[in-house]
Structure 1
Amino acid sequence: MEIVCVGGGPAGLYFAICAKIRDPQHRIRVFERKPEGVTFGWGFGFWDDVLTSLYANDPVTARQIQAASGLWDGIEVQISDKPTAYLGGYGLSMGRLRLLEILVARARQLGVELHFEREVTDLAEFADADLVVASDGINSRLREADQVRFGTTTDTGRNYYLWLGTDKPFGPFQYIFERTEAGWIWLHCYYLDEQRSTCLVEAPPETWHGLGLDQLSPEECLTKLAGIFRRHLDGHRLISQEDQVSTVTGLHGKHVRNARWYRDNIALIGDAAHTTHFSIGSGTRLAIGDAVALAEAVDAHGDDVSAALRAYDSSRRPELDHVQEQALDSMRFLEKVPELLDAPGMDPVQFAFAIARRLGNRGARWRYYLHLATQIQLLRAARGKLTAARRMRAERRRAKNEGSAAQGSARQMEDAL
């Protein structure tokens, strides 16, 4: 089968890997407009379910991703100079550039043809392709060219944000809220590696413009933000990828939904098919899930591309509806942060619990009592031990399944050759 992927991010690359493993006879070409080794963004956050999926589909890639990943353990909520509130949970994270390096190397090893600095403007040049995968991101040109047939709708958030890095390695995931003379502004921070963390700065328009962030150069903006969050950065710097422009451009959360993920022989995956607000940390995780689902559908239906795309759409798209609703709930919650923080009687513990419930699931009453218990250091340590035990169980299950997955992949390769 002739397959073309337009976009060389995690979605397109991992689909190419999964499809090539399932059938090495596929000719798969990936076209990426940026140079190799260039990406926007800092980190990729994920959980055990992603590692399990990676090991099930390609243990070679999974081992490298796991080795390059760091762990953040626990969540801390800090509101100005008030006492810290705590939430449970843990996650894995790694640098986006390192993830792409791993996927590019693996794709090349499997025989995928990679073309960098190659912008696709007309699909007529791929008239011979059996399948075209639109993996060209949130502003997908392939999707935008046919919005009506895909049923594209876009909901833009109110708040501004910047995606930054810092050379301070945070341990727990951090929500840090500071009141300025112009209003509230906050950070979402999580660990990337021993030298870095990623930090997303978010603020409502009143604060953003009141602080003059839209009028500052990148250097001036970073200096101002580092001053606002100085007690949390401990003298470490903030780092921007936006160093070739005169002023900083704040972004808005963009919620893209499509009523249909394919038309003719074109399939949407990753951010081209759907977006989720950065506050739920699921963009790359969902892109990997799309890649696996599409590769499985193509493998199951052989040369019948129409049947494969119908199966992909009918099975995968409904799974994302709930996640996108949660992401929208999270975005709207963060737009109400100033009024919540200024509400009479609101304290860090109550606000932290509101953060935990922001995805629209109130949960059982006992969760609130567990949250209160988590504020006590001794009980928090006990909860941490239980979480560590759960991580170890997940690791043992992956180790047990890895051998059979690797043997299955090897047999597939041998049979095809």
Structure 2
Amino acid sequence: MRIAVLGGGPGGLYFAYLWKLRHPDAAVQVFEQNPRDATWGFGVVFSEQALEFLRADDSETVDAITPRMESWRNITLNLHGQSVEIDGVGFSAIGRLELLGILQSRAAATGVVAHHGTPVQSLDQLAGYHLIVAADGLNSLVRRAHESDFGTSVSYSSNRFAWYGTTKTFPTLSQTFVGTDRGTFNAHHYRYTRGMSTFLVECDDTTWQAYDFANRTVEESKTICEQVFSATLDGHPLISNRSVWRNFPWVWNERWSRENMVLIGDALHTAHFSIGSGTRLAIEDALALVKALEMESTLRDGLARYQAEREPVLTKLVRAARASGDWYEHFPTHMRLGLMDFAYSYITRSGRIDDARLRAMSPHFMARYDASKAARRHE
């Protein structure tokens, strides 16, 4: 079987590696437009048990990645100079380039042939492959070429964000909400190595307009963000890597395959960065596709099984990501709440956590939340 994988991100690399590992006679080639050592952004974060969802199927990859990750058990929220920790919410992070390097090496060791710096301009270049796996991200060539067949829908959040790094490290995944005389900002920040953190800055459209970011250079925007978050950064600079302002894109497809082409990862769907699941979902897609293809005798049936079995799970996660994204679109309004009510609104925003689960997961936070409610009743 000859397989072409478009896109050398985590999802594409993992599919290529896993298929070649299980099917050594297959010819698997990855086509990635960027150089081998290039990537956009800084660290990537995994919610809950990091890569433990892979252990039953691929413990060796889990064991290769997890020692290189930074992990923590709490979330810290900072609002108007006050802070609260929400206990029991585990996350892990790793540098995106480091993760890609691990997956690149594992794929190469199995015999996968990777073509870096090789953009595919037309699907005609892929004639002769039995299967084309579109792991080519938000601007997927495969998806754009057949949007009506895939039933593609794309919309955008009204908020803007810019993805920076910083040498300031943080003990937990943190969210800092800041009001200025011209608007409101939020920063999602977490360490991904001992000396570096991701620092993603977000603002609502009203603030973006007030600061005239449309007419600012990347450097000017970075300087403004350093000033807004000067107390959080504590003298450390922001580091840019194509850190332009963007609207988060919501991508969904009603049909996941067409003939011998199939979508995974951001080419298929997006999940808001606030739930920390984008990279995990891409890797899970790759695993689900491998399993579905192995369980059927024809490619057509395997691709149909992939969607039938994966879609119900993915739909729930994307729905939660939508709810989380909607909360962030209204974060200036939420900032009017007191610290504990704000924190409760934040942690329950996706609709997946009710009071019973929150009490079991975060007993210290809930004790503080209950005490704040009791104190208000007696005022």
Please confirm whether the aligned pair reaches a TM-score higher than 0.5, indicating the same fold. Answer: yes
In 2, the alpha carbon distance for the partners of 1:273 and 1:281 equals 17
Alignment of 1:237-256 (within 5 A): 237-242=237-242, 249-256=244-251
In the alignment, what sits opposite 1:384? none
Residues 1:271 and 2:279 are matched in the alignment: no
Q: Residues 266, 366 of structure 1: CA spacing in aligned structure 2 closer, same or farther, 3 A cutoff? A: closer
1:348 aligns to 2:336 (yes or no):
no
Matching residue of 1:403: none
User: Is the CA contact 2:131–2:260 (under 8 Å) kept in the aligned structure 1?
Assistant: yes
**Kept in 2: contact 1:47–1:92 (CA 8 A):** yes
Match in the other structure for 1:257: 252
Q: Which residue of 2 aligns with 1:292?
A: 287
Distance 1:57 1:109 in 2: 18
Task: Give yes or no for contact 1:186–1:202 (8 Å, CA) kept in 2.
Answer: yes
The RMSD of aligned alpha carbons is: 2.0
Within a 5 Å distance, the mapping from 1:14-413 to structure 2 comes to 14-47=14-47, 49-81=49-81, 83-88=82-87, 89-242=89-242, 249-302=244-297, 304-342=298-336, 346-361=337-352, 363-364=354-355, 367=358, 373-374=364-365
The Cα offsets for residues 23-45 of structure 1, whole Å up to 9 and x where unpaired, read as 11111010001111111121221
Deviation track 1:31-62 (CA, whole Å, cap 9, x = no partner) reads: 00111111112122114555223333333322
Q: In structure 2, what residue type is equivalent to 1:354?
A: S
- Whole-Å separation in 1 of the counterparts to 2:8 and 2:2: 17
CA contact (8 A) 1:18 1:57 kept: no
Q: Displacement, 1:229?
A: 0.9
User: Which residue type is aligned with residue 319 of structure 2?
Assistant: E
Q: Amino acid of the residue matched to residue 334 of structure 1?
A: Y
- The structural deviation recorded for 1:231 is 1.1
Distance apart, 1:9 and its partner CA: 0.7
Q: CA deviation at 1:144?
A: 1.0
Alignment-mate amino acid for residue 72 of structure 2: W
Unaligned runs of 5+ in 1: 243-247, 378-417
Query: 1:257·1:275 contact (CA, 8 Å) conserved in 2?
Result: yes
Q: Residue 51 and residue 347 in structure 1: after superposition, are their counterparts in 2 closer, same or farther (change >3 A)?
A: same
Distance, in Å, in 2 between the alignment partners of 1:340 and 1:230 is 22
Point out where structure 2 has 5 or more consecutive residues left out of the alignment: 369-379
SS of aligned partner of 1:129: coil
Identity, in percent, stands at 35
In structure 1, C-alpha distance between the alignment counterparts of 2:125 and 2:221, rounded to whole Å: 44
Corresponding position of 1:391: none
CA shift for structure 1 position 190: 1.2
Following superposition, the deviation at residue 372 of structure 1 comes to 7.7
User: Alpha-carbon deviation of 1:128?
Assistant: 1.5
Q: Is the 8 A contact 2:49 2:90 kept in 1?
A: no
- Report the Cα offset of residue 375 of structure 1: 7.2
The answer to which structure has the higher strand fraction is 2
Q: Secondary structure at the match of 1:309?
A: helix
SS of corresponding position for 2:98: helix
In structure 2, give the amino acid aligned to 1:277: H
Structure 1 residues 85-131: Cα deviation after superposition (integer angstroms, max 9, x where no partner)? 22121211100000000011111100001111111122223222111
